[in-house]
Structure 1
Amino acid sequence: MTTESIAVLVIDDDPAILQNIVCYLEDSDFICFGAADGAAGIETFERERPDAVIVDLNMPGMNGRDVIARINAQSPTTPVIVVSGTGVIDEAVESMRVGAWDFLSKPVRRMEELENAVRAGLRRARTMRESNEYKETLERMVKRRTRELQLANDRTEAILLATVQSLSTVINLKDAYTGTHQQRVALIAPAIAEELGMEQRAVEAVRLAALLHDVGKMGLPSEFLTKPSRLDANEMQFIRQHPQLGYDILKDIPFELPIPEMVLQHHERLDGSGYPRGLAGDDILPEARILAVADTVEAICSHRPWRPAHPFSHALHELTAGKNTLYCPDAVNSCIDLITRGDPRLTTFTATIKGLPS
């Protein structure tokens, strides 16, 4: 900014002082506007939008402090220099508090000091504006990058969901029972998670894990999955590999939460009697404990290749007997409550089970 383009507003009710300051600044090639009171000064400021303001404090009507506050509210990067005859430190502090940038006492014996104060204020104002512009530029860049990342995240999430759905469909093609079972567990498990107060992203992770919890069965012989009689001990050893196989299939997919671990642990039991790792208690993920309960109740109440569906009383007995030893008690209580009260989230499941209390 060149001196010739710098406009300064001088507000003072003393005509001699006003004229003296205006003449000096004009001789220094500033453009000057004069106002004899606060109200006229504000009017001129709003009309001309000067680069800097020099103002007296003690004026009739609107005093200097009110002028400073008004200007600061409208344009916080406009330097306001106080030139006052009071010379009291309290006045200086108060004027700075309401927005003044500098304070000089009357009479100003060396006008160079006033000019220097104006120029210092203008340099500071320019720095503030540049800083604000830089900040705004950064904010725009952050917002743009955030939008880009959100779009990328949305695309990634959509790909993950499509992957989950594709895997679930493949399982259904190999074994219709397993595919249907997973879908029904995916109704029960997230409802339990919600009842237990889990945050929404954990609830969604439970739903995805439920949709995939038996994905490892894709690696097992079909004749074991569809055998019309109970499996023998050797065959059961094969079946018990499916949590580990499921984990191996899912472990490299970049899920936000540990869904592969939930799948791996869904047959673990609180007392350590589960498989594949014999985990116990708090070593089992809370989400896996929920899957264990939902998996159990759905399996008991559904048709299996070697037996018809059991009534709900069988599931109730299993969960109640295993509460605190095999199954998480909170998950058991929530599951039983959801089913017995006919929670609408489970309607697709409860509409098909036998022996449900009316």
Structure 2
Amino acid sequence: MLMKNNELSILCIDDEEMIRMMISDFLEDSGYTVFTAENGLSGLELLRENHPDLILVDLMMPEMDGLEFLSRAVKESPDTPIIVISGTGAIQDVVEAVRRGAWDYLSKPIQDLVVLEHVVNKALEKALLTRENEAYRKDLEEKVRERTLALEKTLWDTVSALSSMTDKRDPYTSGHQKRVSILAKALGEKMGLSGDTVEGIRIAGLLHDIGKIYVPAEFLAKPARLEYEEMEIMKKHAFMGYDILINIDFPWPVAEIVYQHHERIDGSGYPRNLEDSDILPEAKIIAIVDVFEAMSSHRPYRPSLNPEIALREIVENRGKFYSQDCADAFIELFQENSFDTDEFFK
């Protein structure tokens, strides 16, 4: 049965008055509101004024033919189903109409209105299903967006809490992780890494020393350099950080970056003596900015060093301890900013 719904409207465009009247009377008897036009120009005006749910349009008309109307209508109302009406023997026009966006076609003369009923029903049902699917897709996207935002907030709250825990445990390096995070983000951007990768580096920077919560407080605050045995315990913080973070479902390899941030490309780092190809690019970035920031910040056993002196460590050991590409980009980054670290930490 043809759908009977007073809320649905159909636009019929045909230059033959008898055909317009026949189609209009049939559809109105079925409960539809019908608008009629004798050419494409008038049809476009009615389309803009009334936003019909379906359009029937003849291909051969004066002033603006059906193909021209079809092209314009599809641009203005791409979701509205359009059925073209074609004279017999005009198959090429039908093919062109379908190419331009027609949903279906009817052949003249329309001798059996049951055919019209079937074609209109099919098009309206397809349009309804398309709208429902689109509404479902948008609703799903919105729910995914809301869920993603909620997960991001939860993740960020976790990161902030862990970072704050480290700073409170070790007042002498309070803010160190935040500054490393800022510098690492700037370096990642300087190297042209993707926004997603840079975000992972930023998060890893905020957490790279989380393992220090297991290091004895007297080691962290010792006003002299650590003894060998003490330093060996201190070195465990990279693994402890990994152990803390590995069970958190980050969308980046944060735990592994933290595990590797004291590795050096010549294999002289710790805790696993990894070499160049075994070290994550993100960890190479954290390694450089961690050393630079540590040297240019106050420590219990020494005052802060001038940034240019700290940078010299990177310059002299690029290609040895530190990735050549990362080091070159870091040096260039600071040359561009005249070695003014305050610019990064505003």
TM over 0.5: yes
How many residues are treated as equivalent by the alignment?
334
- For the 8 Å contact 1:243–1:264, the answer to whether it is kept is yes
- For the 8 Å contact 1:338–1:346, the answer to whether it is kept is no
Q: Which residue of 1 aligns with 2:156?
A: 158
Runs (5+) with no aligned partner, structure 2: none
- For the 8 Å contact 2:163–2:210, the answer to whether it is kept is no
Separation (CA, whole Å) in 2 of partners of 1:3 and 1:319: 76
Separation (CA, whole Å) in 1 of partners of 2:330 and 2:3: 79
Tell me the amino acid that sits aligned with residue 263 of structure 1.
V
Q: Which residue of 2 aligns with 1:264?
A: 259
Say if 2:81 is the partner of 1:77: yes
1:179/1:65 Cα in 2 relative to 1: closer, same or farther (>3 Å)? Answer: closer
- For the 8 Å contact 1:265–1:284, the answer to whether it is kept is yes
**Of 108, 116, 129, which residue of structure 2 is paired with 1:118?**
116
* Structure 2 counterparts to residues 127-142 of structure 1, below 5 A: 127-142=125-140
Q: Which residue of 1 aligns with 2:143?
A: 145
Separation (CA, whole Å) in 1 of partners of 2:234 and 2:35: 93
- For the 8 Å contact 2:211–2:239, the answer to whether it is kept is yes
Shift of 1:270: 0.3
Tell me the amino acid that sits aligned with residue 297 of structure 1.
F
Runs (5+) with no aligned partner, structure 1: 352-358
1:66/1:251 Cα in 2 relative to 1: closer, same or farther (>3 Å)? Answer: closer
After TM superposition, the score normalised by the length of structure 1 is 0.73
* Offset from partner CA, 1:173-193 (integer Å, 9 cap, x none): xx2212243343334332222
1:126/1:341 Cα in 2 relative to 1: closer, same or farther (>3 Å)? Answer: closer
Shift of 1:163: 2.2
Q: Which residue of 2 aligns with 1:295?
A: 290
* Offset from partner CA, 1:100-147 (integer Å, 9 cap, x none): 8445456x7xx3xx3232122123223223322322332232233233
Separation (CA, whole Å) in 2 of partners of 1:134 and 1:184: 49
- For the 8 Å contact 1:87–1:105, the answer to whether it is kept is no
Shift of 1:212: 2.3
Q: Which residue of 2 aligns with 1:198?
A: 193
* Structure 2 counterparts to residues 173-184 of structure 1, below 5 A: 175-184=170-179
What SS does structure 1 have at the residue aligned with 2:174? helix
Separation (CA, whole Å) in 1 of partners of 2:118 and 2:222: 90
Shift of 1:265: 0.8
Identity, in percent, stands at 32
Q: Which has the larger radius of gyration?
A: 1
Tell me the amino acid that sits aligned with residue 288 of structure 1.
A
* Structure 2 counterparts to residues 50-69 of structure 1, below 5 A: 53=56, 55=58, 57=60
After TM superposition, the score normalised by the length of structure 2 is 0.75
* Offset from partner CA, 1:22-63 (integer Å, 9 cap, x none): 49x87xx77999989547985997799797858584x66666
Q: Which residue of 2 aligns with 1:326?
A: 321
Separation (CA, whole Å) in 2 of partners of 1:100 and 1:44: 21
Separation (CA, whole Å) in 1 of partners of 2:185 and 2:333: 11
